Chain A
């Protein structure tokens, strides 16, 4: 919110600190404050605009120059000036003689004061008043409207003035709108109301949307002589709902929805009548109408100094704390080691002892609270597996040349729809990671020849009408040179090998997906799928499954004292034959002396014939009991060859 430095100064006899210094002090103790700009004034001279980010819990009392001036008075420890009493022209009569007030909704309208002024003369407001409004970005209108606005900026109470002579009969009703009832507001806009909304009405029609905006019909114009001034207090939630429904946010609605003390209405009407009398003449009808069924009671809070020390971790000297509370006008009373404070009516944020301790802390200064290492038994920290293995996976993949990207959790398609999407391509929560990665890859091919990227993140799906959130890992490999892309499937497979073995998972295998699409290859452990390769270049793995299976416990097997023997074997098979099928035959035939089998080449070439591919394996034999002889290994090899050639489509190359 914007504030005028000159206006703030007007509350003090003593000179305020310079704007930058003032901003610094307010930021440290109250609200973040920026010196926004310097404004030249029409009358000469200048003013400074401060932008003060009033905290939401202080909107009750600090959306006003007086509120900020009170803060300044406390944090800078300078007293507020006592405002001189003005002598006013009074008409000793009762407002009731002129006006009938009927408040039908006392839950929504907590207080309604109607004051009446007679014989005023509408004209431009004085330049000093105009200047203050202009500095805050307001447009001066006339002395009546400007005075009401002025008081709102000064005290924080929204006010409204009606032309009393336009009300016939002179009656004000505070009621709910009828369904479909219409009003044209001061700015000539038409609003259709419903029965949840509160209006100020005359005997038949609404003349204002209560607490939000006045209507055109009873507005003050150049001929207005007698006026009704409304200083009311409306219930915040209803104001907020109405304002949101109508899409109409005004200074008044913001004020009311943050809740203002009903006590303020009385001060504000005195002040605005004095200002109108000063700027537009006329006489004030001495006795106002004041509908105020439930009187506001200021809260009383008790606490001990030990509470302050315990929460803040520092012993603030009692004298110091008491002085702070006094400056805050909390009237502290000490009794039997307990402090009791009385909260001023505008401090609606103060409700419990912690609130008061905060007041002491911020005024004392957080910078003065010493840093103190916490006591307590240090428990060993339990490891979070998701997080821990996430980092292990990152390290493995980065080592394999992959870079990590983050994509938005939103996507063009998905199962979970967003009520208020920010863009057309972000209407849903994503249901996979790999589609996003493929888009990243396409983007990046403009700049790089080789793309290897991965992402760890959540995907969102629906199951039995519930939202399922899952951690996934996905990756993609793409080369600009298309020739390199032909082998990319095996590169992906290699990466998965490296990743799973890096996590201590060894018994995984690849299976053709039972469901379309045809290019989907399942990654399985036992019978359970843990992810898939979307052939040729993308993979996606369920991170939670992976982590569940990952084990750090590597079991040591004694190294054999006897040498290993390696034999190579090449098998010609039809192109559709799976490597795993050949491997199965080899491993099932060889027995336990075959300790490892490596596929080291897959070759397709014209000289092999059209329907052939060559698979080449290293077979490693080793015994833990003796040195194997050539003869023993040859027997096994012969057995393997025979088994392979048992399949008439397969041929061992000799």
Chain B
């Protein structure tokens, strides 16, 4: 073989190999090209193997050219492999290659109860509007739960709150039926202007079903100032729903009755199935209540509201049974 002949061979191998690699569009093809040129019986390998039959001078000359070419092809193949390797070839044996479609290693993380989650959001919205979080007892006195809120004994309005009583009855202790006693508790000790929210568990002695629980979460709100009005309440609640649901929620206010407010109203929001859902009971603080806590109704006025957090949580996450919240069932909790 003359020198020119052999150079021609190298040039044609080079041209073929590079041409093929240039056109190769997947990992498989690159792999085939690798075998064809530098594999065990590849075209270039064969030449390298035949070197030992040549003269020393020839061997030296051809050898260095062949090895240089081999190196060049190897590098090109490597580049190509990297290119396709990243897209995930199926039978890639490269140690660095990662199957990015395989699932990540599971890091055990728990789940916050959906109501805690919503409460946190609700609270931060009210805090951003200047409302302070306040707490109150779950075992309440008849005085704070009823009498001080204009709900005297033997008044039919008491039927609105089915009550769990604590033994012995003569002590007049009960499980609070609403968070409203904290309006009184707070106003007795603080001077306006006031802006508070009171989240907490409340209790009702009634048959439970998918939309009524014997124990559920409420959030009381109270704002008292010189000019606090129904229009202010409306603005606050609109802002609240907008932030909580991150969309424009249809809302309506209609007349309602609670003995400790006047006027009293209910706030409904429209759920996804286009049904009105009652979520807030509210009103302007009754002048008698202000007098009860030694505030002058001609100086101060304000609103109070009570919100059912269970209902809001149910709406937010499309939960269909209120009893799930107290079920302790991780099949439920782990979805949040």
Measured CB to CB, the residues of A under 8 A from B are 27-32, 55-59, 236-237, 240-241, 257-258, 310-314, 352, 354-355, 357-358, 361-362, 366-367, 369-379, 381-384, 386-387, 391, 394, 397-410, 416-422, 429, 436-437, 439-440, 443-444, 447-448, 450-454, 457-458, 460, 467, 469
Contact = CB atoms under 8 A, between A and B. Distances in A.
B157 to A, nearest CB: 5
B138 A403 contact: no
A469 B235 contact: no
B255 A30 contact: yes
Interface string B117-142: 00010010001001111110111000
B227 A371 contact: no
Given A418-B166, A469-B139, A398 B156 contact: no
B132 A384 contact: yes
A399 to B, nearest CB: 6
B130 A378 contact: yes
Contact of B301 (A30, A236, A311, A417): A311
Given A311-B229, A311-B301, A404-B116, A355 B262 contact: yes
29 contacts: A28-B252, A29-B255, A56-B160, A257-B156, A312-B230, A314-B231, A355-B262, A362-B263, A369-B234, A371-B231, A371-B235, A371-B238, A372-B232, A373-B235, A374-B223, A374-B225, A377-B193, A398-B110, A398-B112, A401-B109, A403-B333, A404-B113, A405-B113, A406-B325, A407-B326, A410-B215, A420-B205, A429-B139, A453-B328
A372 B109 contact: no
A278 B38 CA distance: 117
Given A55-B255, A56-B257, A422 B205 contact: yes
B277 interface: no
B238 to A, nearest CB: 5
Contact of B166 (A313, A401, A403, A417): A417
Interface in B47-83: none
A420 B229 CA distance: 40
Interface in B190-214: 193, 195, 199, 201, 203, 205, 214
Query: Which of A312, A361, A410, A422 is the most central at the interface, judged by chain B CB atoms within 10 Å of its CB?
Result: A422
A451 B130 contact: no
B231 A313 contact: yes
Contacts of B228: 374
A257 B331 CA distance: 48
B300 to A, nearest CB: 11
Given A366-B255, A416-B166, 11 more contacts: A28-B252, A57-B157, A237-B154, A311-B230, A370-B231, A381-B132, A394-B116, A418-B167, A444-B330, A452-B108, A454-B110
A631 to B, nearest CB: 44
A354 B262 CA distance: 6
Contacts of B167: 416-419
B133 A374 contact: no
Contact of B109 (A59, A258, A398): A398
Contacts of A402: 110
B329 A443 contact: yes
Contacts of A436: 328
B21 interface: no
Nearest to A258: B156
A417 B167 CA distance: 6
Main secondary structure of the interface of A (DSSP, over half): mixed
A496 B123 CA distance: 27
A55 B254 CA distance: 12
Interface in B136-159: 137-139, 154, 156-157, 159
A18 to B, nearest CB: 19
A92 B133 CA distance: 72
Contacts of B175: 409, 418
A460 B131 contact: no
Q: Which 4 A-B pairs have the closest CB atoms?
A: A313-B231, A313-B229, A358-B263, A440-B328
Chain B interface helix/strand/loop/mixed: mixed
Given A56-B257, A387-B123, A366 B230 contact: yes
B115 interface: yes
B39 interface: no
B330 to A, nearest CB: 5
Contacts of B234: 366, 369-372
Nearest to A399: B109
B286 interface: yes
B169 A419 contact: yes
B265 interface: yes
Contact of A240 (B156, B236, B262, B329): B156
A440 B330 CA distance: 9
B284 interface: yes
Given A420-B205, A440-B328, A358 B229 contact: no
Given A55-B256, A373-B232, A378-B130, A366 B330 contact: no
B230 A443 contact: no
Contacts of B229: 310-314, 372
B334 interface: yes
Contacts of A366: 230, 234, 252-255, 265
A29 B256 CA distance: 10
Contacts of B287: 352, 354
A477 to B, nearest CB: 11
B110 A374 contact: no
B203 A362 contact: no
Nearest to B120: A391
Nearest to A56: B157
A206 B201 CA distance: 48
B285 to A, nearest CB: 10
Interface string B250-288: 001111110100111110000000000000000010110
Nearest to B200: A458
A403 B225 contact: no
Contacts of A372: 229, 231-232, 234-235
A239 to B, nearest CB: 10
A466 to B, nearest CB: 10
A492 B159 CA distance: 47
Interface string B36-48: 0000000000000
B301 A419 contact: no
A240 B193 contact: no
